A and B are shown apart, each in its own frame.
Chain A
Amino acid sequence: MSSKMQSSNNIAQARRTVQQLRVEANIERIKVSKASADLMNYCSEHAKYDPLLMGIPASENPFKDRKPCTIL
């Protein structure tokens, strides 16, 4: 590539970076306290449906070994 091409590529790249940063700087943001509270709420609401968190009885988990049955 000629050096002129280099500089026009750099300009093109720099313009893209500036445009990208403009987009990113202007987005709507919320406070971390609110975002954290929402994450916590989601966790508590869904905790009871989470088998790895709550643990489910071995008989219901297809991966856990069932207790052997004895035939009387």
Chain B
Amino acid sequence: MCDQTFLAITFGPCDNCSQNKPLMNIYLKNEPINYCSLCVELMACQGLAKGETIHTLKAESETLKGKLEEERAKLHDVELHQVAEKIEALGQFVMKTRRTLKGHGNKVLCMDWCRDKRRIVSSSQDGKVIVWDAYTTNKEHAVTMPCTWVMACAYAPSGCAVACGGLDNKCSVYPLSLDKNENLAAKKKSVAMHTNYLSSCSFTNSDMQILTSSGDGTCALWDVESGQLLQSFHGHSADVLSLNLAPSETGNTFVSGGCDKKANVWDMRSGQNVQSFETHESDINSVKYYPSGDAFATGSDDATCRLYDLRADREVAIYSKESIIFGASSVDFSLSGRLLFAGYNDYTINVWDVLKGTRVAILFGHENRVSTVRVSPDGTAFCSGSWDNTLRIWA
């Protein structure tokens, strides 16, 4: 049925009764249609089964929620950290900043690694998107976006393009050329169009499709070449702040987290929300799949990170300490999934033992909030971006 996020009013002939009236532009099964308000009401009433009222539906939704809780509780026979008691504790970790990438004029908001394990793309509040060589710290490309607050950037799997977006409500793809003098902005392709800021974007397994999430509460899958919307995902009731695709072996799903404190798992082909988790107490800033694809971690403004298992359909671990009171802005797993790196708004990065639930290291170095943390594709290092305008590579 109609989705309130897209409701707007224009004037013209109704698609149903053909009279000239004020129209509601609504989406039915992702197709835009223009009905006058009378026809929309009639359509809504036709859908009601006999005896269904708002009260019976509300009552049913309460009983279903209760049943869901019961089913989940039945299988909660043990805690993850209890099962993990028998494995060895991790030793001392020594991780230091090995490279500092300086060059952004303002807060670094997002970064992504290239699959070649050495290139990095980063985006910043000042509108600049820079491609770096992490080994040498040289800047290879720089693009100036027409908007500030470029909150999302992603490297294409081939390494030949980058996608970015932010307050312009769009996701644009820039092909990277080997010719340093070429003006990248000239070849820009606008792919996604949202009705609010772009919070996160990611290429799927190829350069041809992009998944985006937005402050308008939706996620969407786009074809890069044509700019066409392939699938949209409705279900969040507030801004969606982050998304992550399942590791390729496990199929066509992705997880998204938003300001409605929910983390939703979606089927990319049908657009269906297959699972939903709501245990955080504040906005979820970051979501990341566990390397096996059977679980995912979230970082939230409630100063905790949590691990949710998809097959057990519940939260299985909380990573928190009384001394940590600032929100976690970004999380990522090490290659084996044993370590969780989380960047916090108190300028630190905490490293957690995923199985035992304990903190194994705390990394200092940034002089402002850590906004993004990503482990390199081969797991040799991880990169953090911060509001102190720099990126750091740790190993």
A binding-site residues for B, Cβ under 8 Å = 1-2, 4-5, 7-12, 14-18, 20-25, 27-40, 42-47, 49-53, 56, 61-65
Contacts and interface: CB of A to CB of B under 8 A. Distances in A.
12 contacts: A5-B41, A15-B1, A20-B235, A25-B68, A32-B80, A32-B309, A36-B316, A38-B311, A40-B83, A43-B337, A49-B335, A56-B380
A63 B381 contact: yes
A51 B80 contact: no
Given A27-B274, A29-B313, A32-B316, A62 B380 contact: yes
Name the interface size band of chain B.
Answer: 35 or more
B335 A29 contact: no
B291 A42 contact: yes
Interface stretch (B42-50, B122-130, B172-180): B42-50
Contact of A32 (B68, B79, B380): B79
A42 B378 CA distance: 17
B25 interface: no
A49 B231 CA distance: 36
Given A33-B77, A63-B98, A23 B354 contact: no
Contacts of A2: 37
Nearest to B294: A38
B300 to A, nearest CB: 21
Closest 7 CB pairs of A and B: A8-B44, A46-B336, A21-B64, A50-B336, A14-B57, A12-B1, A35-B312
Contacts of A21: 61, 64-65, 68
A9 B3 CA distance: 9
A19 to B, nearest CB: 10
A25 B336 contact: no
A39 B44 CA distance: 46
A12 B273 CA distance: 17
Contact of B380 (A16, A23, A28, A63): A63
B312 A32 contact: yes
A50 B393 CA distance: 17
Interface of B: 1-2, 4, 37, 40-41, 44-45, 47-48, 52-54, 57-58, 60-61, 64-65, 67-68, 71-72, 75-80, 83-84, 87, 90, 95, 98-99, 118, 134-135, 235, 272-276, 290-292, 294-295, 309, 311-314, 316, 334-339, 354-355, 375, 378-382, 393, 395
Given A36-B309, A40-B83, A53-B335, 7 more contacts: A7-B54, A9-B4, A11-B44, A15-B47, A35-B311, A39-B316, A53-B338
Nearest to B55: A14
A47 B48 CA distance: 55
Contact of A10 (B54, B60, B135): B54
A62 B241 CA distance: 33
Contacts of A20: 235, 273, 276
Find the residue from A10, A50, A63 having the highest chain B CB count within 10 A. Answer: A63
Contacts of A7: 54
Contact of B295 (A24, A39, A51, A56): A39
A20 B265 CA distance: 12
Given A23-B274, A62-B380, A42 B337 contact: yes
B395 A64 contact: yes
B48 A11 contact: yes
Given A52-B335, A63-B135, A18 B84 contact: no
B299 to A, nearest CB: 18
Contact of A24 (B52, B276, B336, B354): B276
B232 to A, nearest CB: 15
Contacts of A64: 98, 395
Given A21-B61, A35-B312, A51 B76 contact: no
